[in-house]
Structure 1
Amino acid sequence: MYGFIWRHLPGNPWVKALISVVLVLAAVYVLFQYVFPWAEPLLPFNDVTVNDQ
């Protein structure tokens, strides 16, 4: 998959590397700003049961 993306990016290797970094940063931004806040109420991280022993 990464080879496919690399071959289809325009430019020389330095330009491809820069575009790759920008794409990764954009993906991380979208995840933290939109996906994770949307999914957080659906995940059971706050449903903790502790027995008194």
Structure 2
Amino acid sequence: MYAALWRILPGPAWVRVIILLVLLAAALYGLFWYVFPWAGQFINPQESTVGG
């Protein structure tokens, strides 16, 4: 999968690395600002401690 992604990106290697970093940053931004807060509504963590 990663090799296929690498082959379809345009430009020399350094341009591909920059494109991948921008895509990674966009994915993380979307997860932290939209997906995780939305999913947090449905997850009800219980108060728990380790040990006792």
Class of the TM-score when normalised by the shorter of the 2 chains:
0.7 to 0.9
Aligned position for 2:25? 25
Aligned position for 2:38? 38
TM-score normalized by structure 2?
0.84
Aligned position for 1:16? 16
- The Cα shift of 1:30 comes to 0.3
Q: Give the RMSD, CA atoms, in angstroms.
A: 1.7
| Counterpart-to-counterpart distance in 2, 1:23 and 1:33 | 15
- The Cα shift of 1:48 comes to 2.7
Runs of 4+ in 1 over 2 A off after TM superposition: 47-50
Percent identity between the two aligned chains:
46
Select the structure of larger CA radius of gyration.
1
| Counterpart-to-counterpart distance in 1, 2:6 and 2:37 | 31
**Number of residue pairs the alignment of both structures matches:** 50
What letter corresponds to residue 44 of structure 2 in structure 1?
A: P
Mark the runs of 5 or more structure 1 residues left unpaired by the alignment. Answer: none
